[in-house]
Structure 1
Amino acid sequence: MSTLTKDVLVEMIRDKVGYPVKEAKEILEIILEEIKLRLEDGKDVKISGFGKWTVKEKRARPGRNPHTGEKIEISARRVVTFHPSDKMRDQVNRNQSND
């Protein structure tokens, strides 16, 4: 199984829609950049039938270095989570059971 990369997506857009590679790449970059900008602003991104990305705030908390056992402070940060839509989850599970 190969990894789905930006280059593969560009080729798919080119093949399925007939756009030249340069235009297909620009379209993909615009979409990805818009998603990134929304997430940077702390906004959710929802694509119907696909899923939803959400930014969550994590508080600072105590932790431990797994190599040395030393106690450390894990700093506060934001994390992005993805939740697939019910439709996506059902489709993935349906395809899994066919293997």
Structure 2
Amino acid sequence: MAIVKSKLLKQLSNNYPNFLKRDLEKFTNIILEEIKKALKRGERVELRGFGIFSTNIQKARISRNPKTGEKVNTPEKKTIHFKMSKDLFKKLNNNEE
């Protein structure tokens, strides 16, 4: 089951009833936009205790269409790489909370 932004906002509003829902939504949108902008600039985003987001450049290459077998030129593109923190790794694998 994936977590979507609406469920995240609902959980935040339950945990922090003193904040208005629209303020929590603005806060969440600002954080996500800043992460997107930093990755677009090629910067690394580190969230302590969670992980690191960075971009990798995938080189241009000649790939193959699996349906027809035809060769296709694939241009260079950026991909996102995520490396989880040791704390998150331990929590996932040792069932800690």
TM (norm. structure 2) is: 0.91
Q: Which residue of 2 aligns with 1:61?
A: 61
Match of 1:3 in 2: 2
TM-score (norm 1): 0.89
The amino acid of 2:25's aligned partner reads K
Structure 1 residues without counterparts, runs of 5 or longer = none
Query: Which ranges of 4 or more aligned residues in structure 1 deviate by more than 3 Å?
Result: none
Code of the residue aligned with 1:27 in structure 2: it is F
Aligned-partner SS, 1:55: strand
Q: Which residue does the alignment assign to 2:14?
A: 15
| Greater Cα shift, 9-18 or 34-43 | 9-18
Partner of 1:43: 43
Cα deviation, residue 94, structure 1? 1.5
* Other-structure match for 2:73: 73
Percentage identity across aligned positions?
29
Q: Deviations over 1:38-90 (max 9, x none)?
A: 00100000001100001111110111011111111111001111110111111
SS of the residue 1:78 aligns to: strand
How many residue pairs are counted as aligned between the two chains?
Answer: 95
